[in-house]
Structure 1
Amino acid sequence: MSAINTPKSAKAIHPALPWIICLSASLFFAYELLQLHVMNALSPMLIKDLSLNATEFATLCSTYLWADILFLLPAGIILDRFSVRRVILVALLFCLLGTAGLSQSHSFLFASVCHFFSGIGNAFCFLSCILLISRWFPKERHAFIIGLMITIGMFGGVVAQRPFSLLAELFSWRQALLIDAVIGVGLFALIFAFVKDAPAPIKVVKEKTIPFFEGLKRSILNIHNICCGLYTCFMNMPLMVISAVFGSLFLTQVHKFDLPAASFVSSMICVGTIVGSTLYGAIADALQRRLPLMVFGCVTSIALFALILYIPSPSAKLFSILFFALGLLTSSQSLGYPAITENSPKELTGTSMGVAAMIIMGLPSLIQLLAGKLLDWHWDGTMVGGAPFYSAADFRIAFLIFPIGFAISLLTLVKIKDRKKQTATIT
């Protein structure tokens, strides 16, 4: 039994300490999401400056997620065995190197390698936050705290859009990324100062270490957790494909918005997710149920996306409302994370989250490539200002992946266990 639950250890912890630690770590998550979404804000400049088409740009963006595929599972295993604080700091260093390197890129290959380095950091940040929350807060608070963490993370996606498109227009996209790297240095100092691994007693608890392959096998064969990963992945598609890659290109080319306006509209998906993640988490904790909310998110997202695809001549204001609503509704994906942690042994929390996160962050790398391939497949070869120009019909074909993905999320709910009502116990 863990000493973390003893009254004596509980008295030693200041009530504000878990919040300070987990919120500080959440800023790392926000910073990593900034690296993911800033590519959308800079997309027209990057495509033109590096002479890319949609498939090549999607490939560049997806290298961030390829790093997740390769490092998420090792990240979970590493976090189960080593200091979370130290892992976060090393991962953040990789991200800083990638961001600074990308700002100096002049070729597709070098840019891809640098963005891959940023993705290595991302492989560790979310799992680190989940693990800290599982150690510092009781289970009955997890849905709300994880929702709050996602809320903080989404601010990184918001900051990545209009502010960085304005910085890029004022200076250049290269200088904007250097400013990005400087922000990361400040974050490194903050995490170094405030983040701690766990309440003191848990630091000596190492009595129950499951062998590597046994733990991996148990995590992979947990069908509930696999389906939670698939649900979260497909409900997360608007963030991964529109807000992170093709949103600005879609709005500037099809609807003739200028880049700052397009970036602002794209950021509304993140803003909607900020509101929705906390809202879904609070409602789920109040009801002690998740499944009805997860069904609601799927069904309403399918209907809303059909409206986004086919509404004639929408204004920037209307698109902002629609994208906000899309982020709000699809943020039911945040309920998948606590469902995983609650159905995994304590000693396999990191490994289980690593397996699920390989799905959550890995599949979107293929989905981004698929969207780019579909755009290029339907493209008629038109070039404007030295860059490919894609029509509304091109984007409609590519964006059909969204309602299909939402429908798949709905199907996964058949195998996802609903949360059982329980009363909190303190031992």
Structure 2
Amino acid sequence: MSAERARRQAWLVWSIAVIVYVAAVFHRTSLGVAGPQAAERFGVGPAALGVFTVLQIGVYAAMQIPTGLLVDRFGPRRVLTAAALLIGAGQMLFALADSYPLALSARAVLGCGDAMTWVSLLRLIAGHFPARKYAVVVSISAALGGAGNLASTMPLTMLLDNVGWTLTFLIGGGLTTAYAALAGTRLRDVPEGAPVPAADPVPLRSVGRSVAAAWRIPGTRLGFWVHFSTMFAPAVLGLLWGFPYLTEAQGLSPHVASAMLGVLVIGAIVGGPLFGALIGRRPELRMPLVVGFLAAAVLTWVVLLGWPGGQPPIALVVIALVVLSLGGPASTVAFALARDYNSLRTVGTATGLVNVGGFSATTIAALSVGLLLEVAAPLGSAVKFQVALSAILLVLLFGTWRTAVWWRRARAVVLAAAARGEEVPVQLRARRWDDLAAVPVPAAA
């Protein structure tokens, strides 16, 4: 196959696959604006409402390692097709649910399908694109996922207001289920004529060893903590608590709040490709950019949570949302790390491990915010959100600490390998804060 034909096929496969991911993000974030209606429909309070997101994201996080193993065993085409079917079925069940337990079951099914999309998409990208384009295509994919998030803000609010709960979610679920047929027939695991990576059955007793082997790689561990720290804050706001914060604590109308949540999405859509292009050309800048984002995010939360009375100027809230929106683009560094330090045969497992990070943090933070909102309810709308959202800052500080620890350890491994003359994914320059006593200093890059 000619290079031009291979390039066109790669982009076609990616286009078909990324639509499943966009749909998954739409369904995942649909409760961001539908939360108040869900609370009324099922007769639940803030903590029970938070369980919807915690359950969905908890299932997502729990499924990441199994998904990686499934992708390595059966290939991304089959797994992505199954994901579209599960997402559609879960959303249609959610549309028809008339009780809280049934609605929870529906979100669990949706979360299971959602969990299978991103790892499958990344494996397809790794199989069809050269390594130098990987970060760029992943960043574009993440940015396009923002289109699904954007559709779940103002457009979804208007649909819910005009056609109602049941029809809105039935249409979305039905279209996703139907699209699975296209994914199943048109996707290819590898380019035409390329050998398919060996996928021998993995005995159950070997699964733990496979996961442990990927986890022992410092690049995988660093990717986990980068993802943990960068993507969860905009996810918590977009999935559930941003809308109530803007309407209850800041006193905005539902339509204005929906539009403001769109800032999180637009920032990610614009920042994703720019971020990907930069780290694609200069991979040595990956971690400095992550550290810069984390520092800015910590400062942002300190200002928002420390504002007297809990109601900062709206312009400041918009700036904060712009800063936090870059967490999604920054989180793509985690997958580039998994791709660089793992073989194609096992990169699905490593990617699944990395993806657990951000969604574990999202689960912890979303549940903590819901519980703190109920505890702090007597303090008034603005102050109770100050107290509740402090959980996000605490999780962010913990993740930032662990990222710093594993960045130093991963650098030590790369510097030592370069000093031995081995090929490394990124040429690094030794710094004063590296462990130079244990790591030979290579020639300057």
Do both share a fold (TM > 0.5)?
yes
Q: Identify the residue that residue 260 of structure 2 maps to in structure 1.
A: 265
Higher alpha-carbon deviation: 398-407 or 23-32: 398-407
Q: Identify the residue that residue 434 of structure 2 maps to in structure 1.
A: none
Report the residue type matching 1:407 in the other structure.
L
Report the residue type matching 2:404 in the other structure.
L
Deviation at 1:118, TM superposition (A): 0.5
CA contact (8 A) 1:301 1:330 kept: no
Matched ranges for 1:196-235 at <5 A: 196-206=188-198, 212-235=207-230
Figure out how many residues of one structure are paired with residues of the other and give that number.
406
Higher alpha-carbon deviation: 300-309 or 257-266: 300-309
Aligned CA RMSD, in angstroms, stands at 2.4
Question: Is there any run of 5+ residues in structure 2 with no aligned partner, and where?
Answer: 412-424, 429-445
Q: Identify the residue that residue 387 of structure 2 maps to in structure 1.
A: 397
Deviation at 1:208, TM superposition (A): 7.7
| In 2, Cα distance between equivalents of 1:194 and 1:218 | 33
| In 2, Cα distance between equivalents of 1:319 and 1:280 | 23
2:30 is paired with a residue of what secondary structure? helix
1:196 is paired with a residue of what secondary structure? coil
Q: Identify the residue that residue 154 of structure 2 maps to in structure 1.
A: 162
Higher alpha-carbon deviation: 371-380 or 190-199: 190-199
| In 1, Cα distance between equivalents of 2:232 and 2:327 | 12
Deviation at 1:272, TM superposition (A): 1.1
Can you list the C-alpha shifts for 1:211-260, whole angstroms capped at 9, x where unaligned?
Answer: 53432220132343123212212211223211101111111111222222
Larger relative contact order, structure 1 or 2 (CA cutoff 8 Å, min sep 6)? 1
Q: Identify the residue that residue 368 of structure 2 maps to in structure 1.
A: 370
| In 1, Cα distance between equivalents of 2:374 and 2:351 | 35
Matched ranges for 1:17-416 at <5 A: 17-206=9-198, 212-289=207-284, 290-310=286-306, 313=311, 319-328=317-326, 331-380=329-378, 391-411=381-401, 412-416=403-407
Deviation at 1:329, TM superposition (A): 5.3
| In 2, Cα distance between equivalents of 1:214 and 1:310 | 46
Report the residue type matching 2:368 in the other structure.
L
| In 2, Cα distance between equivalents of 1:286 and 1:396 | 40
| In 2, Cα distance between equivalents of 1:402 and 1:363 | 9
Deviation at 1:185, TM superposition (A): 3.7
Identity %: 18
| In 2, Cα distance between equivalents of 1:239 and 1:313 | 19
1:420 paired residue among 426, 431, 436: 426
Deviation at 1:314, TM superposition (A): 5.2
Deviation at 1:12, TM superposition (A): 8.1
Can you list the C-alpha shifts for 1:4-39, whole angstroms capped at 9, x where unaligned?
Answer: xxxxx5648432211121132112111111112110
CA contact (8 A) 1:102 1:177 kept: yes
| In 2, Cα distance between equivalents of 1:10 and 1:243 | 43
> TM-score when scaled to structure 1?
0.88
CA contact (8 A) 2:25 2:145 kept: yes
> TM-score when scaled to structure 2?
0.85
CA contact (8 A) 1:23 1:149 kept: no
Deviation at 1:307, TM superposition (A): 3.2
Question: Is there any run of 5+ residues in structure 1 with no aligned partner, and where?
Answer: 1-8, 382-389, 423-427
Q: 1:209 to 1:142 in 2, by over 3 A?
A: farther
Report the residue type matching 2:329 in the other structure.
S
| In 1, Cα distance between equivalents of 2:43 and 2:145 | 31
Deviation at 1:401, TM superposition (A): 2.4
CA contact (8 A) 2:232 2:358 kept: no
Q: 1:351 to 1:202 in 2, by over 3 A?
A: farther
| In 2, Cα distance between equivalents of 1:13 and 1:209 | 33
Report the residue type matching 1:254 in the other structure.
A
Structure 1 runs (4+) deviating above 6 angstroms are 207-210
CA contact (8 A) 1:297 1:330 kept: no
Q: 1:27 to 1:48 in 2, by over 3 A?
A: same
Q: 1:202 to 1:107 in 2, by over 3 A?
A: same
1:400 is paired with a residue of what secondary structure? helix
2:8 paired residue among 4, 9, 16: 16
Deviation at 1:85, TM superposition (A): 1.4
Q: Identify the residue that residue 386 of structure 1 maps to in structure 2.
A: none
Report the residue type matching 1:414 in the other structure.
V
